[in-house]
Amino acid sequence: SLTKICRLMLTGLKSLVRKATSIFASPKAQTYPIIIPRSDHSLSRQNLSPNAVKVLYRLNKAGFDAYLVGGCIRDHLIGVDAKDFDVVTNATPEEIHDLFSNSRLIGRRFRLVHVTFGREIIEVSTFRAPSAQEDSASKPQESLKGKDSARSAHGIVLRDNVYGSIEEDAERRDFTFNALYYNVQDFSIHDYCGGLEDIANKKIRIIGDARQRYQEDPVRMLRAIRFAGKLGFDIDEETAAPIKEMAHLLDHIPPARLFEEVLKLLGSGNGIKTFHLLRQYGLFKYLFPDTEALLVSGWKRDDLNPEAFILQGLENTDKRLQTGKTTAPYFLYAVMLWPSVVLRHEEFQSQGMPATPALHQAASMVLDNQVASTAIPRRFSTPMREIWDMQFRLPKRYGKRAFVLLDHPRFRAAFDFLLIRELSGTELGGLGAWWESFQFANENEQRELIKSIDLRANDKEGPKKRRPRRRKKSNAPQRETPEE
Ligand code: ATP
Ligand code: MG
């Protein structure tokens, strides 16, 4: 239709004007971008998601500039499999949305479009201009700078929807290796900030002034650590220097965002390295405050060495991920918080609370404290509680109990958890090996295994003794009457 043709001509013109102005406006135009032609790099269309390529072509055909950017280009050049494909363009979110019937506008802090192809989502966003620097110290209240960009009292960027040129877009990305753009029209890579050289030198380098960039978005500190753990790169000196003293800014990040970041940090397949780096840079404390306090205190028990246990849990997860297996995110969270649960459990019991309610109380307390730092959705906290609960049920195998436990939906996770406890030095009298045999035995063998349990070794195990019923005193607070 005529209006469509007009619109296409107009957007074509707009992009031409944008290109022209950006060439004249940027003094760095002579040196950047460095353009690497197809013949000089290893990235080919075969390495890319066909859906991402489709999105690029469609945008180009409509007269827009469009590039692949970020993790997919970086990871490919490093030799890691890319997991998602991000497209960036000079089309606005509304224009993108109009072009793709299979798309949705999302985000508030950062508006973008999701184009869906079955299970694959291609994220398409518009070139952003760096958000204007503001003197945050003189403005104690949230300062709103128009409705498209805003900062909090701490200088954290709350909204970032000012559109710009590709040069500006490159400048507001976090690290140099994340500002590489792939142009599907001539298969070239455009490097705006020296990312290729940094990849060659295995360096993580923030774009611009590190302090200012962490102030705008403290999560960038976590991202630096994440890439160091995942890629085995070194963090450039100037990029690393302010992290320790600025770590506290993470206190101002919404717990839900930190939760997502923790899953990526510890679920990269390099959890041990990442854990050490997080602690070394003073960031771990803002993600797991109770766990950090416990590790620093040096608290230990004969049957639990917190650090050894956590490292064992991370090693197990790393191995699984490195061999292509999956892990449940709640499992790692259950590992990270277990030492705190054990400590609180002990405290509640020493106040006279019976073992089971004390455990539930301990779990609630630890989870309540934790969600102030990193939100934990209920679909994660419920299985975490079950894993912890099962640690006290797995020793009790008498009668039909072992069969009931085996059918529990969380059996496998709880069993893996138990093995990690044993591997980290907790003496459980061969409990892990017993369950290992029990799972794979036939019914007769299973009965033999139950008979073989040495009741004397664990006298809590035997057939249920009848206990005189406690009379409920309606007014007396229950928890002050110890059970036995
Ligand atoms: P991965 O997908 O492996 O986690 P990624 O680099 O692709 O790594 P995304 O969160 O998918 O990470 O972000 C895509 C791109 O957006 C990044 O490569 C980077 O250019 C930019 N980006 C993401 N988060 C930030 C941030 N906090 N500050 C500035 N730029 C960012
Ligand atoms: Mg990505």
Sequence-separated (6 or more) residues with CB below 8 Å from residue 112: 93, 105, 106, 123, 124, 125, 126
Q: Is 229 in the pocket of ligand 1 (CB under 6 A)?
A: no
Q: Tell me, what's the pLDDT at 125?
A: 96
Number of the ligand 1 atom closest to the C-alpha atom of 179: 20
Report which protein residue has its CA nearest ligand 1's atom 6: 71
- Is 416 catalytic? The answer is no
The DSSP string of 240-270 is: HTTHHHHGGGGGGS-HHHHHHHHHHHHTSS-
255 within 8 A of 372, measured Cβ to Cβ: yes
Report which protein residue has its CA nearest ligand 1's atom 8: 71
- Using CB atoms within 10 Å of the CB of residue 169, give its burial: 0 to 12 exposed, 13 to 18 middle, 19+ buried: buried
Q: How far is the CA of 70 from the centre of ligand 2 (A)?
A: 6
pLDDT at 115 over 90: yes
Report which protein residue has its CA nearest ligand 1's atom 18: 70
Confidence of residue 321 (pLDDT cuts 50, 70, 90): very high
Between 466 and 363, the higher pLDDT residue = 363
Q: Per-residue pLDDT averaged across 84-90, rounded?
A: 95
Please measure the distance between the N-terminal and C-terminal CA atoms of the chain and give it in whole angstroms. 84
pLDDT at 176 over 60: yes
**Average pLDDT in the chain:** 87
DSSP state of 122: E
- Is 234 catalytic? The answer is no
Q: Tell me, what's the pLDDT at 31?
A: 77
Marked catalytic residue, from 75, 160, 169, 174: 174
Report which protein residue has its CA nearest ligand 1's atom 11: 71
Q: Is 260 in the pocket of ligand 1 (CB under 6 A)?
A: no
Q: Tell me, what's the pLDDT at 5?
A: 53
CA 267 to CA 226: how far, in whole Å? 10
Q: Is 178 in the pocket of ligand 1 (CB under 6 A)?
A: yes
Q: Per-residue pLDDT averaged across 359-387, rounded?
A: 97
Confidence of residue 80 (pLDDT cuts 50, 70, 90): confident
Q: Is 226 in the pocket of ligand 1 (CB under 6 A)?
A: no
Q: What is the pTM of this model?
A: 0.85
Q: What percent of the chain has pLDDT over 70?
A: 84
Q: Is 215 in the pocket of ligand 1 (CB under 6 A)?
A: no
Q: How far is the CA of 326 from the centre of ligand 1 (A)?
A: 23
Confidence of residue 7 (pLDDT cuts 50, 70, 90): low
- Is 174 catalytic? The answer is yes
At residue 232, φ and ψ (nearest 5 deg) are 70, 25
Q: Tell me, what's the pLDDT at 330?
A: 95
CA 139 to CA 155: how far, in whole Å? 9
Q: Is 128 in the pocket of ligand 1 (CB under 6 A)?
A: no
Confidence of residue 196 (pLDDT cuts 50, 70, 90): very high
Q: Per-residue pLDDT averaged across 385-393, rounded?
A: 97
Nearest Cα to 72, choosing from 180, 234, 230, 192? Answer: 180
Instruction: Report the SS3 class of residue 135.
Output: coil
pLDDT at 332 over 50: yes
Q: Is 173 in the pocket of ligand 1 (CB under 6 A)?
A: yes
Parallel, antiparallel or unpaired: strands 86-89 and 120-126: parallel
pLDDT at 89 over 50: yes
Q: How far is the CA of 320 from the centre of ligand 1 (A)?
A: 25
DSSP state of 468: P
pLDDT (tens digit per residue) in 134-152 = 444 434 334 444 667 788 8
Confidence of residue 426 (pLDDT cuts 50, 70, 90): very high
Q: Tell me, what's the pLDDT at 45?
A: 82
pLDDT (tens digit per residue) in 13-51 = 444 444 444 444 444 444 789 999 999 998 888 889 999
pLDDT (tens digit per residue) in 63-75 = 999 999 999 999 9
Nearest Cα to 155, choosing from 132, 176, 128? Answer: 132
Instruction: Report the SS3 class of residue 304.
Output: strand
Confidence of residue 470 (pLDDT cuts 50, 70, 90): low
CA 264 to CA 346: how far, in whole Å? 32
Q: Tell me, what's the pLDDT at 151?
A: 82
Marked catalytic residue, from 65, 86, 198, 217: 86
Q: How far is the CA of 95 from the centre of ligand 1 (A)?
A: 23
Q: Is 197 in the pocket of ligand 1 (CB under 6 A)?
A: no
Marked catalytic residue, from 84, 98, 234, 389: 84
121 within 8 A of 114, measured Cβ to Cβ: yes
pLDDT at 473 over 70: no
Q: What percent of the chain has pLDDT over 90?
A: 74
**Furthest-apart CA pair in the chain: how many Å?**
89
Give the DSSP H/E element, type plus range, for residue 204.
strand 203-204
Measured from the Cβ of residue 273, the count of other Cβ atoms closer than 10 Å reads: 17
Q: Tell me, what's the pLDDT at 458?
A: 52
The DSSP string of 57-94 is: HHHHHTT--EEEETHHHHHHHHT------EEEESS-HH
